[in-house]
């Protein structure tokens, strides 16, 4: 395709589109979970804090499983990891309507659903795709795969919102579990594609040494800190944006369409980020993204809270939402190569989701104490600005040298 000349290689488009389709289903299911908070609270009476804790644990577990799933994929291949993860996602989603206690919710939404969607997410899919294509295709491919997850949010959020109105939140969750099963044939097609290059031999010391060396690298640690703040930002909004919309006296449909617009805009942002990392240093791309979030949230706080404000805010957020993933994965690959990319990028995703745990749970605590999210918005501004600054010292070779190599 002329728009993506770096992708004109045999099998590259097939691998990319299959991975994007899997991510569309798993991320679409996961990123719509905030829409269940209100009706779930109404039916169970568990309270916003209890539900937020379960979802916060899910944010952390989703990240914690990434390096583990990545390590298994590095050793045994992606097929068993992706299939087991998908089945756990289906099981957790189907069981959630059957529980009525906080511990039950933690088991289903906090553990089963999170482990399942995490095992079928970025670390395994991006690494699997990277091993099946030349270096020149990886940046653009990672942007397209990432866009698949955003497209899932765009499609699933308004459908989930409407289904909750029509058949209730329980029926909607069972419907989403059934839809997730559609990813099985996609996984089979993706993992049956055997044109990947032969596996590189383990460097001396293997995985343990690779992880130890990475954790001693200051640039890798700075990347973790920046990605931590990204997780805080996204999890807070995914969990609490529907409640924020309600506080402003607006319909729940505004919340579902806001989440959908975030996903739609992130398709553009992901594709743009994927192309930018072939032209500019990834650390500068990340610094710009994080800095823009701080400015956007400040503008939102100053604006009147109408439905069009939320839609404009959603589009602005979406341009950088998960578009941070391609440059972050690219930086890990540039620093350490792709042999253990699934594990090392999985560890950065763990940092992301530690931030996600705090964003989701602290949002619930602040809401219970204050009745609104005012202090969370200001914390989000401060963390976004910090993330923009701490990415700049990362030692990344100039893009011209990388291309010449």
Q: Tell me: the pLDDT tens digits for 122-177?
A: 778 877 777 777 766 776 787 788 788 888 888 898 899 899 999 999 999 999 99
The beta strand positions in 254-384, using DSSP E, are none
pLDDT at 4: 56
- Mapped to the 3 state alphabet, what secondary structure does 77-128 carry? CHHHHHHHHHHHHHHHHHHHHHCCCHHHHHHHHHHHHHHHHHHCCHHHHHHH
What own/partner pairs with CB < 8 Å and gap ≥ 24 does 42-51 have?
Answer: 43/169, 44/100, 46/100, 46/101, 46/102, 46/105, 47/368, 48/243, 48/364, 48/367, 48/368, 49/364, 49/365, 49/368, 50/102, 50/105, 51/105, 51/364
In angstroms, the CA 78 to CA 284 distance is 31
Domain-embedded: residue 4? no
Domain-embedded: residue 200? no
The DSSP annotation for 21-45 comes to HHHHHHHHHHTTGGGGHHHHHHHH-
For residue 7, give the DSSP letter.
Answer: G
pLDDT at 197: 39
Q: Tell me: the pLDDT tens digits for 365-403?
A: 999 999 999 999 999 999 999 999 999 999 887 755 444
Q: Tell me: the pLDDT tens digits for 42-93?
A: 898 899 889 989 988 988 898 888 888 888 887 787 888 999 999 999 999 9
* Tokens (6 digits) for 274: 């994927």
Per-residue pLDDT band at 8 (split at 50, 70, 90): low
Domain-embedded: residue 79? yes
User: For the residues 249-272, what does the mean pLDDT come to?
Assistant: 88
Residue 405: pLDDT above 70?
no
Please give the residue range of the domain that contains residue 341. 11-194+206-404
Please state the domain count of the chain.
1
Which CATH number characterizes residue 382's domain?
Answer: 1.20.1250.20
pLDDT at 7: 61
Q: Tell me: the pLDDT tens digits for 216-234?
A: 999 999 999 999 999 999 8
* Tokens (6 digits) for 308: 């069009």
Domain-embedded: residue 134? yes
Query: Regarding predicted confidence, which is higher, 320 or 12?
Result: 320
* Tokens (6 digits) for 295: 């400015």
Q: How far apart are the first and last CA of the chain?
A: 25
Q: Give residue for tokens 């192309």.
A: 275
Domain-embedded: residue 5? no
In angstroms, the CA 348 to CA 13 distance is 27
Domain-embedded: residue 201? no
Per-residue pLDDT band at 198 (split at 50, 70, 90): very low
Q: Tell me: the pLDDT tens digits for 281-336?
A: 899 999 999 999 999 999 999 999 999 999 999 999 999 988 898 899 889 988 88
Q: Give residue for tokens 């992880």.
A: 211
Domain-embedded: residue 98? yes
Domain-embedded: residue 1? no
In angstroms, the CA 77 to CA 390 distance is 34
Alpha carbon of 67 to those of 63, 276, 302, 306, 342: distances in Å? 8, 26, 40, 41, 7
């Amino acid at each position: 395709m002329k728009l993506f000349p770096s992708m004109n290689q045999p099998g590259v488009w097939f691998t990319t589109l299959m991975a994007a389709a899997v991510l569309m289903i798993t991320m679409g299911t996961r990123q719509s979970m905030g829409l269940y908070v209100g009706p779930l609270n109404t039916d169970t009476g568990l309270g916003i804090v209890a539900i937020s804790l379960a979802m916060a644990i899910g944010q952390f577990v989703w990240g914690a499983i990434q390096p583990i799933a990545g390590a298994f994929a590095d050793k045994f291949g992606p097929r068993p990891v992706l299939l087991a993860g998908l089945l756990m996602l289906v099981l957790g989603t189907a069981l959630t309507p059957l529980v009525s206690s906080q511990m039950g919710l933690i088991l289903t939404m906090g553990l089963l659903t999170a482990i399942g969607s995490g095992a079928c997410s970025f670390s395994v899919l991006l690494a699997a795709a990277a091993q099946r294509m030349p270096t020149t295709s990886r940046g653009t491919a990672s942007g397209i795969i990432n866009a698949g997850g955003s497209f899932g949010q765009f499609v699933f959020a308004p459908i989930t919102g409407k289904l909750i109105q029509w058949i209730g939140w329980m029926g909607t969750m069972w419907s989403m579990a059934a839809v997730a099963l559609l990813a099985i044939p996609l996984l089979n097609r993706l993992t049956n594609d055997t044109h990947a290059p032969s596996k590189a031999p383990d460097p001396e010391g293997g995985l343990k040494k690779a992880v130890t060396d990475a954790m001693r690298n200051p640039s890798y640690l700075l990347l973790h800190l920046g990605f931590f703040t990204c997780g805080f930002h996204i999890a807070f909004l995914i969990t609490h944006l529907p409640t924020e919309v309600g506080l402003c006296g607006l319909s729940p449909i505004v919340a579902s369409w806001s989440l959908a617009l975030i996903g739609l805009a992130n398709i553009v942002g992901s594709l743009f980020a994927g192309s930018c990392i072939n032209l500019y240093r990834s650390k500068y791309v990340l610094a710009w993204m994080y800095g823009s979030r701080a400015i956007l949230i400040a503008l939102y706080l100053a604006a009147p809270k109408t439905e069009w404000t939320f839609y404009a805010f959603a589009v602005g957020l979406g341009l950088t939402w998960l578009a941070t993933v391609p440059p972050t994965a690219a930086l890990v690959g540039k620093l350490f190569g792709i042999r253990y990319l699934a594990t090392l990028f999985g560890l950065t995703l763990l940092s992301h989701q530690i931030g996600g745990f705090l964003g989701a749970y602290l949002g619930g605590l602040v809401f219970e104490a204050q009745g609104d999210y005012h202090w969370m918005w200001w914390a989000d501004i401060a963390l976004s600005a910090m993330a923009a600054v701490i990415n700049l010292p990362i030692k990344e070779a100039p893009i011209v040298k990388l291309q010449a190599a």
